[in-house]
Amino acid sequence: MLELTKACMAGLCFCPKKYILVMMTFFAIFNQYTMRICLHLAITVMTGDRNDTVSGVSIADEDHFDWDEYEQGIILSAFYWGYTLSHFASALVADRYSKHLLGVSVLITAVLTILTPLAIDIGGSWLLVLVRVLEGIGEGATFPVLSALIAHWIPASQRGFYGSFIFSGCQIGALIGGIGTGYFIEAHNTWRTTFYIWGVMAIIWYMVWLFIGFESPETHPYISEQERSELVAQLAESRKSAHSYPIPWRSILTSCPLWGLIAGQIGHDWGTYLIITDLPKYMKSILQISVSDNGLVTYTPFFSMWLFSIMGGWLCDMQIEKQCTSRTNARKFWTTLGSILPAFFMMAASYTGKDKVLVITYFALCVTFLGGFYPGVKVNTNDLSPNFAGVLMGMVNGIGAVTGIITPYLAGLLTPNQTLEEWRVVFWIAFAVLNITNVIFILFASGEIQPWNYPRQQQQS
């Protein structure tokens, strides 16, 4: 078996290893998001009326649960309790153990996803909360590790495109996970199947990653000498060795560009988590949409978000390469697109009443333009410090993930009766957050490598 594996690896020598890394990390996020969001749609069926005709499925009585809006808010936010904490812990080792940390991150989430139905049977909502917290802990390492891998593999001039592509696994995962979950529930008349399917797919990814995932070109045993030398040369300037020195915490924590980036991340996460977590409930309560159609109308726009983020990443790199604008202004431009336009379309949707066509159209535009964050905020950690990209992403995404705790909990508190007027307040709050955080990003963000990226030089100066 080992000899066969080695032969397969050798047979892949013709394929540039950078592209393999990009695709495998893309599918890492894809799998994480299918497992993360499947509960968001499943819970609309699990907590529906036993005589509910809206969902379009006939769920067995024992699979129904009397969880009120407050309790559902706790369940949906529980994932982000562990997710936030895990970011900070994994950031400390993400740059050094990126291969194994990414693999374990996906594996933990996969196993717990498969065990979710059993946990609900045994302990109900509170054991489900515990499982979701543990899933969050498992998944929290993903983004810090991916930022480290991007810093190890992708030259600065290509990070807008490749970084956007890798992180766009979120959108495709949400798209396939949402539509697939709705289909599986309706096809099998149970919400249980979806947890098994997404969990098994993630375990398959993990088995492949064990053999073809590596931390850097220097450690890859099957990379060609030409590709290795080209990548090492392209990455040399930004990746001067920093690992023999302590992390420059004081410089990092007092960095205005970093705090500008954190503000931008908070805006992105607030808008995105509100859509991913709570929009299925809005579509069911306000528009009376069945579970399979709910998956389609809620998550299909993530495909256009994916296209927009990829196109934006390419255009952003072109803007910088052709010197149409500075790297800093390019990041600010795309982040602004990802803030102002989604905020506007979200509010427009809330003022169209129950007109299904207009509501779905406006939310689709809202989700699409959220893709502007990917060539803006999402790759900015690598701009500031390639040597400490994992540390920065742990901080940035970890703080931003707090919004994943707040938004479903807040939505549950503000919409006890699931009326349009109650939901409009939720969207007004999101409108304010998106715009205020964007202003902070514009004022303080930077696209340039910071002096503390090079601890050796800083010590000598």
Q: Are 155 and 268 within one domain?
A: no
pLDDT of res. 48: 66
Q: Tens of pLDDT along 247-299?
A: 888 999 999 999 999 999 999 999 998 998 888 889 888 888 887 788 888 88
CA 322 centroid distance within chain: 30
d(CA 108, CA 197) in angstroms, rounded, equals: 15
Give the domain-ending residue among 193, 215, 237: 215
Based on the domain organization, do 389 and 314 belong to the same domain? yes
Give 7's pLDDT tier (boundaries 50, 70, 90). very low
CATH number of the domain encompassing residue 31: 1.20.1250.20
Are 197 and 145 in the same domain?
yes
Cα–Cα–Cα angle for 57, 60, 63, nearest 5°? Answer: 100
The pLDDT score that the predictor gives to residue 456 is 61
Domain stop point among 215, 237, 270: 215
What's the pLDDT at 220?
A: 83
Could you tell me how far CA 144 lies from the centroid of its own chain? 11
Residues 203 and 252 in one domain: no
Distances 54 to 20, 51, 179 between C-alpha atoms, Å: 43, 9, 17
Q: pLDDT tier at 374 (50, 70, 90 boundaries)?
A: confident
pLDDT above 70 covers a percentage of the chain that reads 91
- Is residue 234 situated within a structural domain? no
Q: What band does 194 get if pLDDT is binned at 50, 70 and 90?
A: very high
| Residue 106 maps to a domain | yes
Considering the domain boundaries, does residue 242 fall inside one? Answer: no
Residues 320 and 179 grouped into a single domain: no
8 A C-beta contact, residue 242 and residue 143: no
- Read off φ and ψ for residue 320, nearest 5 degrees: -75, -45
- Name the CA radius of gyration of the chain, rounded: 22
- Kindly state whether residues 162 and 262 are assigned to the same domain: no
Full domain range(s) for residue 155: 18-48+66-215
Number of domains observed in the structure of the chain = 2
Residues 410, 261 within the same domain:
yes
Assigned domain for 457 exists:
no
